[in-house]
Chain A
Amino acid sequence: MVKLKSNDDKEFEVEEAAVIQSEMIKNMIEDGCATSVIPLPNIDSKTLIKVIEYLNKHINMGKAAETGEEDDLKEFDEQFVNMGWEELFDVIMAANYLNIHELMELCCQSAADRLKNKSVRAVREMLKITNDLTEEEEQEIINDAPWAFEGPEIDDTVN
């Protein structure tokens, strides 16, 4: 077992087989730097619980294909990314820091899926983005590529 400590001082025990999906921790273990507790100063306990949930489910990924559990994993992944934006960004930052490739891809794909075909207004509202471009700068982008701002697929709904 490997012990991980979140930045709010909570400790979590994780099986080595699960935790080595993180390239960062795998390297630490290989270098013998993971003897006691591994502190993770960038990750809070709420996010770490999510990440560990993912790691535990994705243990023995290779075996899933043999035992026909792929559909089960797919379903888990779909459920897993069903979270709010704030939480999703926390997991993305954690996946990036811990270097968990599959988790990073899953979460970034989910973020992109939510933005796909959305209108500027919808994205601005969803992500609460303040416009710091001048009117001229904004108009210049639109004039350069009017193609990007028209089309039946553009979706103005916020969800």
Chain B
Amino acid sequence: MQHRISKLPEPILQHILSFLHAKDVTRMSTLSKVWDSAWKSLPYLNFGDILDWSKDLNVVIDQALANRKKHKISIQKFSLCLCLGHYGGLCCVRNWIKILIACNIKELNLRVETHDYRGNFVYGSLPLAIFAAKSLNVLSLSGFSIEFPADDASPGAAGSFSILFINKNPFIVLTEFIYEDASDKVEQPCSAALPGKCWRRKLKNVELNNFTCMEQERLRNYFIASADISE
């Protein structure tokens, strides 16, 4: 007897699959046509924690995104925590972000950890399009840099902070960046120039964590003129 799971409407099967890692769902796509089709159009992509990044995996993610873009599937959620062996992979990450924006990504959780040959952290740069992504409700990033303009005081040592901003719609956007003083020449090419204006306009509710009072004061002055700050 064929089990009822194969007769579940695709959105319900996909809802169940949304709780699984992409690795599980990819494997299960060899079960039958129903499962293959459910995976190919699954709008939730959770790649989980990937510690052993490889070219193969890169191809898998590239393909998964390219297929969804080709079939105009709006991606609801993309999650990935990636430990890159060398920073060459950051270009791929940048490319994924661009595709995700094109696929109207709603929730993006992306953590990337990369080191250069000397063992120093390297931060990815954010495509500026992310600040204009209209469907984005939740954004949680780690391992990406923001470069503060030269005329602004450097905010100090490396740390991470969360920015909560509320769009016109009722959703909350949580952003977490790691930033670093970009005076180190090696890191400069990897830092994105932050469109300060865009940020100041969009931020409405900001939460700062793990900072000394002085650092918070600087960040507050830099980022937000009209926002409510909760500490």
Q: Which of A102-122 contact B (CB under 8 A)?
A: 104, 108-109, 111-113, 115-120
Residue of chain B at shortest CB distance from A130: B2
Residue of chain B at shortest CB distance from A126: B3
Closest Cβ of chain A: how far from B79's Cβ, in Å? Answer: 15
Chain A residues within an 8 Å CB radius of B16: 92, 108, 111-112, 115
Q: Interface on chain A toward B: helix, strand, loop, or mixed SS?
A: helix
B56 interface residue (CB < 8 Å to A): yes
How many residues from B make CB contacts under 8 Å with A?
34
Closest Cβ of chain A: how far from B40's Cβ, in Å? Answer: 10
| Listed residue (A111, A116, A117) with the most chain B CB atoms within 10 angstroms of its CB | A111
Knowing A85-B3, A144-B63, A147-B60 are in contact, say whether A93-B12 is a contact too (CB < 8 A): yes
Closest Cβ of chain B: how far from A113's Cβ, in Å? Answer: 8
Interface size class of A (residues with CB under 8 A): 35 or more
B225 interface residue (CB < 8 Å to A): no
Tell me the complex Cα distance, A24–B193, Å.
Answer: 49
Query: Among the listed stretches A27-35, A50-58, A131-139, which one makes contact with chain B, having 4 or more residues with CB under 8 Å of it?
Result: A131-139
The 4 nearest A-B residue pairs measured at CB: A112-B19, A148-B26, A127-B3, A128-B3
Residues in B lying within 8 Å of A, measured CB to CB? 1-6, 8, 12, 15-24, 26-33, 35-36, 54, 56-57, 59-60, 63
Residues in A lying within 8 Å of B, measured CB to CB? 85-86, 89, 92-93, 96, 104, 108-109, 111-113, 115-120, 123-124, 127-133, 137-138, 141-142, 144-149, 151, 154
